[in-house]
Structure 1
Amino acid sequence: MLLKLYPDNPNYREFRKIADVLKDGGIIIYPTDTVYAIGCDINNNKAIQKIANIKGINADQANFSLICSSLSNLSEYAKVDNTTFKMMKKNLPGAFTFILQASNNVPKLFKSKKKTVGIRVPDHYIPLSIVEELGNPILTTSIHDPDEVIEYTTDPELIHEKYHKQVDLIIDGGFGKNTASTIVDCTTNSFEIIRPGIGELKL
């Protein structure tokens, strides 16, 4: 199913439907402030496994991230010291994935052997509204095909054509970008950019 949302006049009742799909173990594809992503409710292990299968990877070794609606509930999912928190506050919401030490609340299937978790608070009303309505973060991973000349598909109709049989809902929020988020490793003493992207880090 393809659901079109309009940023100038969003119908917030649609977010209740999206949250219901996620609560039922559904998989969604949605826009972010960078590329389109695929996601599910972090509390549904079967859905997490489905996403791993779609990506062709092992769920326990995958570098999935969480999309949170704000920094307020961050400590539930990651261990953050004051210096890191202040730096993140300067940069979020924004096009960043911050790699942090995972807390015990991160579901076991989601947690990689490295015991770290990626945290995103994107500057985009669609994923933020979904998480608000759902009441907890969603698991997220970018949609891309490394074999293609263009690494990220930006057209939601082409995404629908490719993935509609594998997922429950595709949200059309207009054309996406073709550059991903900036990944910042916060697990050492310095904030190391391990993948440059759209976000320009303020320290």
Structure 2
Amino acid sequence: MQRFHLHPENPQPRLLGKAAEAVAGGALLACPTDCSYVLLCDLTDKAAMQRIRALRRLDEDHPFTLLCRDLKQVSVYATLGTTEHRLLRAAAPGPYTFLLAATREVPKRLQDKRRTVGVRISSHPVPQGLLALRDEPLLCSTLQLPGDEFPLTDPDDIEDRLGKQVDLLLDAGPGDYQVSTVVAFEDGVARVVRPGKGDLARFGG
């Protein structure tokens, strides 16, 4: 495992550039967000996605999330009605994952049975900086290992436990043990389906 030590507020552009090259070349990354650390890979990389499934022991139906740069990018991969657009504009970037109707840009393997996809815009400078160097979102999954009650938060623990299974660790210091709040929409009404970090009251939760 390579390990880049990044400033949590002003990550070094040179290291972000190397990380962007790595993920484009098929690398599996561990990266901080405004919630927990996550596993990241290229959106189109089936082999890297299967590595995440194996590492976390996920079944084929377990959903992945698209980590997006901004609302404009979200709108390429998800359909936004008036209510959805207004709520996302108010809440993102932030610690929320939104389940939205997928557009044709989303590979079918990333859609659930209802043809929805999870999208997220993190406020953390490291993934923001990484996404600024790319044209597409990144595929994202919480860095929580089988049998663990919480996601991994300490970069040293991540390296100790995953040193041979993850290619690059973007170390920006200790992360948060909390996961993102997941919000679904039904007939234009927001509903919290997994409470996590953030203000639930804005979604009526």
* Other-structure match for 2:136: 136
SS class of match (1:94): coil
The Cα shift of 1:9 comes to 4.4
> Do the aligned residues in 1 keep the contact of 2:100 with 2:116 (CA within 8 Å)?
yes
1:180 matches 2:204? no
Partner of 2:38: 37
Count matched residues: 201
Deviation at 1:154, TM superposition (A): 1.2
In structure 2, distance between residues paired with 1:173 and 1:31: 7
What amino acid sits opposite 1:160 in the alignment? E
Report the counterpart of residue 5 of structure 1 in structure 2: 6
Counterpart AA for 2:22? V
Q: CA deviation at 1:113?
A: 2.7
Alignment match, 1:50: 51
Deviation at 1:188, TM superposition (A): 4.0
How far did residue 168 of structure 1 move?
0.9
Separation of aligned partners in 2, 1:180 and 1:154: 11
**Corresponding residue number in structure 1 for 2:25:** 24
Counterpart Cα distance in 2 of 1:118 and 1:29: 19
Quote the offset at 1:146 in angstroms: 5.5
Runs of 4 or more, structure 1, over 3 Å off, are none
| Counterparts of 1:145 and 1:168, CA distance in 2 | 16
Provide the C-alpha distance between the structure 2 equivalents of 1:187 and 1:68, rounded to a whole number of angstroms.
22
Tell me, yes or no, if the aligned pair for 2:56 and 2:144 is still in contact at 8 Å: no
Aligned counterparts of 1:119 and 1:9: Cα–Cα separation in 2:
24
- Counterpart amino acid of residue 145 in structure 1: L
Name the TM-score, length of structure 2 as normaliser: 0.92
Measure the CA separation in 1 of the matches of 2:5 and 2:58.
29
Which residue identity does 1:184 align to in structure 2? V
Match of 2:66 in 1: 66
- TM-score of the superposed pair, with normalisation by structure 1: 0.93
Q: Deviations 1:77-136 (Å, cap 9, x if unpaired)?
A: 111101110111000110000111111111232223331111100110111111111221
The residue correspondences of 1:54-203 to structure 2 (distance < 5 A) are 54-59=55-60, 61-145=61-145, 147-148=147-148, 150-201=149-200, 202=202
Instruction: Tell me the secondary structure at the aligned position of residue 93 of structure 2.
Output: coil
Conservation of the 8 A alpha-carbon contact between 2:28 and 2:48: yes
- Work out the CA distance in 2 between the residues paired with 1:136 and 1:187: 27
Query: How large is the Cα RMSD of the aligned pairs?
Result: 1.5
Post-superposition offset of 1:147:
2.4
Contact 2:77 2:103 (8 Å CA) reproduced: yes
Q: Which structure 1 segments of 5+ residues have no match?
A: none
Structure 2 vs 1, CA of residues 77 and 9 (structure 1 numbering), >3 Å: closer, same or farther?
closer
Secondary structure of the 1:50 match is helix
Given that 2:9 and 2:125 are in contact with CA atoms closer than 8 Å, whether structure 1 keeps it comes out as no
Q: How far apart, CA to CA, are the structure 2 residues paired with 1:68 and 1:175?
A: 22
**Paired AA for residue 49 in structure 1:** Q
